[in-house]
Amino acid sequence: MHAYRMTAAGTARMVELPAPRPGPGQVLLQVRAAGICHSDLHVLDAPAAMWEPPFTLGHEICGTVTATGDGADPELVGRQVVVHAPYGCGECSRCRAGATNDCDRRRSLPAGLGLGVDGGMADEIVVDAARLVGADGLDPAEAAALTDAGLTSYRAVTGSAAHLAEPGAVAVVIGVGGLGHMAIGILRARTGAHVVAVDTREEALELARACGAQTACRPDEAAAAVASASEGRGADVVLDFVAAQATLDGAGPLLRIAGELVLVGGAGGVLAVRKPGPLPSGASLRLPFWGSYDELVETVALARQGGIRARTTTYPLSEVTRALEDLRAGRVLGRAVLVP
Ligand code: NAD
Ligand code: ZN
Ligand code: ZN
């Protein structure tokens, strides 16, 4: 089978591998869709010591079960599923509660399938049956995008629920890409907050409006937009899906006193936290990572109810290099997803 593998630091290519076989408690999936995340670019750009290749990339996976190993329910065969891909030790209290994303051994373990261990940019993949969430009837590309772009945004938004429940709350979404456009949908479905979306690309601002953002503007217009939406108070929550130096420098001044800054992006900017400093007094800071199994179930349920929908741009698996180039160049709208 074909698999797109990180073969050395900074290098990934399509290789031919033997078909995998499910072990005990595992299933074999024929991959229907594998999302491409900006994190895949960060992985390929990272210094040599950060990752241990070789492994197959792809941490957003939708597939059809084609075989089951010993102990996995044979009735799963034929079902379309998505995969909860964060990797954990399986033994700590977080893992036992399905929150492998917050595993106590996170520092010493691979981050997830496709992020240190084999992922879904392949014809087939073997995964533990316990990772599966049913996705029958959903568009495979949209379903794949729910597992990280959707799930990470779901946790990022719901973790700030108390701030977002303030009367007249304003939420700022910085970066309307794969994750940010899902976050806008989740904010609109789950909170009453006025959403101010910020991006440097005009087409991303149009997508933000289509996803329900009441205001969509360029970074240099954000301060005025937030002041106007909040009657001068500032944003209750700023969600930074970029976290480059420019967005971090701009985020603090947008926040309301005792507001919350949520850093999701990994673009390498540095936030200087001190008192007094760039964040207003009383502010809190969160750095959520991905989401739990139960949160993925809730994210998929929200999509089924029509509360959110991933916008996708699909590419054949054989054109993964072109898709990655498009993502890097800012030519992807919504989520880029590889399909067979
Ligand atoms: P993406 O490339 O699809 O979207 C990024 C968006 O940000 C684009 O629309 C781009 O135009 C916009 N942008 C870039 N610079 C900007 C600026 N200065 N101001 C405003 N907008 C700007 O990326 P994605 O796949 O959505 O991922 C976003 C970030 O989140 C990445 O850094 C990724 O690694 C990270 N991420 C974190 C987690 C987590 O668990 N914390 C999970 C997934 C992804
Ligand atoms: Zn990701
Ligand atoms: Zn654990």
Q: What residue ranges of the chain have pLDDT lower than 50?
A: none
Which of 241, 245, 263, 285 has most ligand 1 atoms within 8 Å of CB, for mutation?
A: 241
Closest Cα partner for 225 from 211, 213, 240?
Answer: 213
Q: How far apart are CA 314 and CA 145, in angstroms?
A: 11
Residue nearest to atom 4 of ligand 1 (CA): 177
Q: Probe ligand 1: pick from 146, 198, 199, 325, max atoms within 8 Å of CB?
A: 199
Peptide bond into 86 cis (omega under 30): no
Q: Report pLDDT for 49.
A: 87
pLDDT of residue 161: 98
Distance 276 CA to ligand 2 centre (A): 33
Q: In this predicted model, what pLDDT tens digit does every residue of 310-329 receive, in sequence order?
A: 999 999 999 999 999 999 99
| Ligand 2 midpoint to CA 37 (Å) | 5
**132 neighbors 199 (Cβ within 8 angstroms):** no
Residue minimizing CA distance to atom 1 of ligand 1: 177
Q: Cα–Cα distance between 110 and 55 in angstroms, integer? A: 11
**Which residues on adjacent β-strands are paired with residue 2?**
16
pLDDT for res 195: 99
Q: What is the set of domains in the chain, with CATH numbers?
A: 2-151+291-339 (3.90.180.10), 160-286 (3.40.50.720)
**Is this structure's pTM higher than 0.90?**
yes
